[in-house]
Amino acid sequence: MGGASDLSGRSLLRFITCGSVDDGKSTLIGRLLYDSRLIHTDQLDALAAESKRLGNDGDTPDLALLVDGLAAEREQGITIDVAYRYFATDRRRFIVADTPGHEQYTRNMVTGASTAALAVILVDASKGMLTQTRRHSFLVSLLGIRTAVLAVNKLDLAGYSADVFGRIERDYRAFAASVGITDVHCVPTSALRGDNIIDHSVRTPWYDGPPLLRLLETITPEAGPACAFRMPVQTVIREGDFRGLAGTVSGGALAVGDRIQVLPSRKDTTVARLVGGRQDAVAGEAVTIAVTDDLDIGRGDLLCSPQHPATVATSVDATVIWLHEQPMLPGRSYYAKVGTRTVPCTITQLRHRTDITTLDHVPAVELAPNDIGACTLEFGAPITFDPYRDNRETGGCLIIDRLSGGTVGAALLERETDGAGNVHRQPVDIDKAARGRLNGHGACVVWLTGLSGAGKSTIANLLERRLHALGKHTYLLDGDNVRRGLNRDLGFTDTDRVENIRRVAEVAALMADAGLIVLAAFISPFTAERQTARKLVGPHEFCEVFVDTPLDIAEQRDPKGLYRKARRGELPNFTGIDSPYEAPDDPDVRVDTTTDTPEHAADLVMEWLRANVLR
Residues catalogued as catalytic: 524
**Which residues touch 187 (CB under 8 Å, ≥6 apart)?**
149, 150, 151, 152, 196, 207, 209, 210, 211, 212, 215
* Span between the terminal Cα atoms of the chain, in Å: 78
Which residues does residue 243 pair with via DSSP β-bridges, in sequence order? 238
- H or E element at residue 149: strand 147-153
Residue 603, SS3 per DSSP = helix
Q: What CA–CA distance (Å, rounded) separates 275 from 244? A: 8
Produce one character per residue of 500-534: b if its CB has 16 or more CB atoms within 10 Å, e if not: bbbebbebbbebbbebbbbbbbbbbbbbbbbbbbb
- Give alpha helix (H) positions in 414-478: 432-439, 456-469
19 near 107, Cβ under 8 Å? Answer: no
359 near 138, Cβ under 8 Å? Answer: yes
- Cβ neighbours, 10 Å, residue 319: 16
137 CB-contact burial (10 Å; exposed 0-12 / middle 13-18 / buried 19+): buried
Q: What CA–CA distance (Å, rounded) separates 253 from 230? A: 8
Encoded amino acid at 273, one letter: R
Which residues does residue 273 pair with via DSSP β-bridges, in sequence order? 290
370 CB-contact burial (10 Å; exposed 0-12 / middle 13-18 / buried 19+): buried
Q: What is the DSSP-derived secondary structure letter of residue 53?
A: H
